Amino acid sequence: MTSTTTATRVLDHGDARGLQAVLLDMDGTLVDTEDFWWQAEVTLFAELGHQLDEADRAHVVGGPMTRVMDYLVGRTGVDIAPADLGVMVNERFVELLAGGVPLMPGAERLLNTLDAHGIPAALVSASHRHVIDIVLRSLGAEHFAFTIGGDEVARTKPFPDPYLEAARRLGAEPGRCVVVEDTPTGVRAGEAAGCPVIAVPSVAPIEPAPGRLVVSSLEQVDLDLLRSVVAARV
């Protein structure tokens, strides 16, 4: 849930150098779950008699689930409705999460830095609510003003809707909210919302572009860097 206190903090105490908030993707950005999704898809399709390869992985990384399932049904010809297949993959993925979720290098430090400096953070994911809630047990819900799942907006990534909704809830300007993403799909969503983007590629490569900074690890992302990508836009 979004708190009134958090939104007021953004409006009344906006960063002197322009940064108002940080909007963070989850899978592959803050937590190392992209391999879990891929393992869920590979093992399930193997049981259905189809072998997926690395070329398929490049197509499915970053979701959303509807797009991924449509691709995999078209690619394999499996005789299962995409919606039903999505449920099966989600169930397999949740099973893999049972042992806990590893954080990406630099994730904990970044979240603690935002907390320490009073910079609001929102978690904006294409994953569904039940998956987010499981991951938050490892990640820590206290770090976020609120979280948005892919099943909680009319159109999820690569559409701008989830990032525009996050900025709206915070009472912030999209151009002063830094989006941190690991996939081309997420980057497109952040850029379409008018946000400066820091890309930390996990599986699929991402090229630098105007308004987009590409780094190799979250360990490179600190407050000065976040402020600088906003300052470059104003």
Contact assessment for residue 71 and residue 61, using Cβ atoms and an 8 Å cutoff: no
pLDDT tens readout for residues 54-103: 889 888 887 678 888 999 999 999 999 999 998 999 899 889 888 889 99
User: Cα 194 to the chain's mean position, in Å?
Assistant: 16
User: CATH 3.40.50.1000: does it fit domain 4-32+102-231?
Assistant: yes
pLDDT band at 17 (very low <50, low <70, confident <90, very high): low
Pairwise CA distance, residues 197 & 189, whole Å:
10
Edge-to-edge strand ranges of the sheet holding 212-214: 146-148, 121-124, 21-24, 177-181, 197-199, 212-214
DSSP string, 39-90: HHHHHHHHHTT----HHHHHHHTT--HHHHHHHHHHHH--SS-HHHHHHHHH
Residues in the chain: 234
Retrieve residue 135's tokens.
Answer: 């991951």
In the beta sheet, which residues pair with residue 178?
A: 22
- Single pTM value for the model: 0.82
Among 218, 20, 30, which Cα is nearest to 140's?
Answer: 30
Pairwise CA distance, residues 25 & 176, whole Å:
17
Expressed in angstroms, the distance from the first to the final Cα of the chain is: 30
pLDDT tens readout for residues 135-158: 999 999 999 999 999 999 999 999
